[in-house]
A = this chain, B = another copy of it.
Amino acid sequence: MTKEVEYKTYTISELSKAFDVTPRALRLYEESGILSPKREGSKRVYFERDKVRLRLLLRGKRLGYSLAEIKELFDIYESNSGEEGQLLLLLETMEVKRKQLETKKIDVEIALQEIEKVTNTARKTLKEISATKN
């Protein structure tokens, strides 16, 4: 008794709409070795795995990582043989990334504080203006 599992698949345009990226970008991500859709003839067929990776990829981009860096991360993560050396490499890499992200987090928070300051000052001035008007 074979267990039939339905895998949802996506065409390039479906995936591109779903994530608001162009097909061109998806092809580039493939060329960069990050996505690897199956083929049906010459047409790309994307599976859940690709969707997951694309989601991570885009988050990575928003965080400022280059495609090369993102691929590197995927590679390290996947090449993980469960072997000790590999695991240690993984841990080191993650530690580096973690520190970068903590720094970024601080950058974001400082920026938010600055925005708040500017905003408060502007609001005060506005209030004074409307008070003067009356």
Chain A residues close to B by CB (< 8 Å):
56, 59-60, 62-64, 77, 80, 82, 84, 87-88, 90-91, 94-95, 97-98, 101-105, 107-112, 114-115, 118-119, 122-123, 125-126, 129
**CB <8 Å contact, A90 and B122:** yes
**CB <8 Å contact, B77 and A91:** no
Count of this chain's copies in the oligomeric assembly: 2
Interface residues of chain A: helix, strand, loop or mixed (majority): helix
- Kindly state the separation between the CA atoms of A63 and B87 in the bound complex, as whole angstroms: 30
Could you say which residues of chain B place their CB within 8 Å of the CB of A98?
112, 115, 119
Cβ contact of A115, chosen from B59, B80, B101, B129, cutoff 8 A: B101
Could you write out 20 A-B pairs with CB less than 8 Å apart?
A60-B111, A63-B64, A63-B104, A63-B107, A64-B64, A80-B122, A82-B125, A84-B129, A87-B125, A88-B126, A90-B118, A91-B126, A94-B115, A97-B115, A98-B112, A98-B119, A101-B111, A101-B112, A101-B115, A102-B112
